[in-house]
Amino acid sequence: MLEWLKTNATAARDKLSTEVSKFKNREFMEAVVSGCALVAAADGNISSDEKQKMVGFIQNSNELKVFDVKDVIKAFNSVCEKFEFDQQIGRAEALKSIGQLRKKEDAARLLVRVCCAIGSADGNFDESERAACRTICNELGLNPGDFDL
């Protein structure tokens, strides 16, 4: 009986910890998918390489691996749909989400590095993708020069 209680208490604590992590990092996840979509859409084409790079980052990030990849892809596709509907609306919505990290410098810097990696995922980090990363830096109050942009 005591062993059962210990096992279930541990499982409940782990589940709660995971749920708290999701709550605390949802803002970061939404900013990452928004930034990735903004950069991926910059050259007019969201490639499968860019999507795969983003999914790989999510799966390897301690902050984000608590999220189901399906949920992350769903969030990414939702942002992409806004770009497909209207470029300006998609851009505005993405920047709104990204801007929530403005006062969290470590998270903001990580976001920019991820976005740069997404931009170069197809082997060509072109000027439109660099410009999107500079826009993200400006939204976050970061110096684009810190990222060789």
The rounded percent of the chain whose pLDDT value lies above 90 is 24
Q: Which amino acid is at 110?
A: L
pLDDT of residue 16: 44
Q: Where are the beta strands (DSSP E) in the chain?
A: none
Least confident piece of the model among 3-7, 36-40, 98-102: 3-7
The string of DSSP codes covering 12-38 is: HHHHHHHHHHHHHHHHHHHHHHHHHHH
- Separation CA 129–CA 49 (nearest Å): 14
Q: What share of the chain is helix, strand, coil (3-state, %, to 5)?
A: 80, 0, 20
Least confident piece of the model among 62-71, 84-93, 98-107: 62-71
Residue 80: enclosing H or E segment and its boundaries? helix 69-85
pLDDT, tens only, 91-141: 999 999 999 999 999 889 888 888 888 777 767 788 988 999 999 999 999
- Separation CA 108–CA 139 (nearest Å): 10
Query: Which has more pLDDT, 2 or 38?
Result: 38
pLDDT of residue 84: 83
**Which residue segments constitute the domains of the chain, with CATH numbers given?**
25-147 (1.10.3680.10)
